[in-house]
Structure 1
Amino acid sequence: MDYTRYVVQPGDSIYKIANAYKVEMSDIINLNHLKHPDRIYPGQVLLLPTSECQDITPGELSEPNFTYAMWLFDVYAGKDSELSAVTTYLYQAVVLDRPEFDELLRPLAYDELRHLEQLAWCIRFLGLDPRYGAFSKGRWFDWRSRYLNYSTDLCAILDYNMKDEAAAAKHYTDLAGKIPIPEIQTILLQISADEERHYQCLADAKMHFCGCESSESLLISKAETEAE
């Protein structure tokens, strides 16, 4: 699901916002995981659905291929994978234990969970069992909890997550270019777009809570300036 941000104004209600943006109240409530939708407050940031993603089901895929499936295992349940992202974001949401961080991290975790499911179906249809792990140098390695980032420093967490999201967006785009199956390419490019959006959400949070850009962003800006 694609979504946009909305800042709650004085006098707003979920009903009023839903009518204004022509979306379902239940979609707003579910997307933002609102336990008490009658208690929104001015300044609160809500995510509003803008359009439905075209999820591809495995029944539409063709040409089973073990090589392609093994490539997908890396982003499915390798070290830097969707499984690692889901568990990392949920862990961080619990450990930071503040509503504003929960509202930032949980939607990202649920996006990654959807990606995990999409990749699982792709791997299964391509001929392999989507168990949690990945291949490295021809050997199978089970996914491990030590892949998680257990930092509790907010700014370090945001910087780490931003780097992961930027790398993931590029990796999915690269994979889409390597796997010549249109349906799988569509899935991979959708996921890549999600990761780019995640990066921007995290970058905005970094500016708000830490008052600075990530070190990666600063290095990129410096390199671009020097190039000019």
Structure 2
Amino acid sequence: MRALKASICGATLALAALTSPAAASEGANSRPYAGMDCEVHVWSIGRPNFVSKSNAFVKYTPPTEEQLADPHSTVNIFNMSKRAMALGDEQLSMLFPGANSVNVVRHPDMIDRDVTPLKSFKGRIGESDSECYGDLVVRNLYALFPNPDAPYQQYGLGGGVIASVIAGGDRLVIDFWFRQWPGGKKGKPLVVKRKNDTPLPHVAPESPDMLAAVTDSANLNLEIFAETVAKKRK
């Protein structure tokens, strides 16, 4: 994570302002949750039972048992539920700036959008009596590789992230949805949703470098989303 931030901050001051952890909490100088014990539940939503099929344009090859067991395989690195569960406590805590504590509750089972779409949840998705509560849902996650034949970088070396920022290289796209309820369970909730992309170094696929790069890029994406949430509270 330090390598990702350091490279971006070295590019320009403007880029640093967009991506630094301080920027994510700067908009909440009033520290609205000072002294409170908050709780955020982390989810993913999609079609967990969907089975891809080949068509005239794409030939689908189901993952092998070896790929499913390998944490560095593409099917696991870009698994939406796994990436949601890997979001950092530090970045998740930024959703409640100034809180005394933020208890993170992760739900590894993906919500089936065909059975229970988000609009069907009229109250909290998780079970909790906390007065400071929020649900964070990852609704989509994918990567963009505009120049897949470019030479691979070694993650954290050679200024690869700067190149991806300036030249519009690989990107990680995440669609976040956040709903925060006021004290107690009654009242109108704050709902913030945003699809954002962050730099993704062009590293070798199915490698420890790719897993580290995707994890760090996802956390950076969440930091920027937390800044958006802070602005919506004003």
Q: TM-score range by the shorter chain?
A: under 0.3
TM-score by length of 1: 0.27
- Could you say which structure has the higher helix fraction? 1
More strand, by proportion: 2
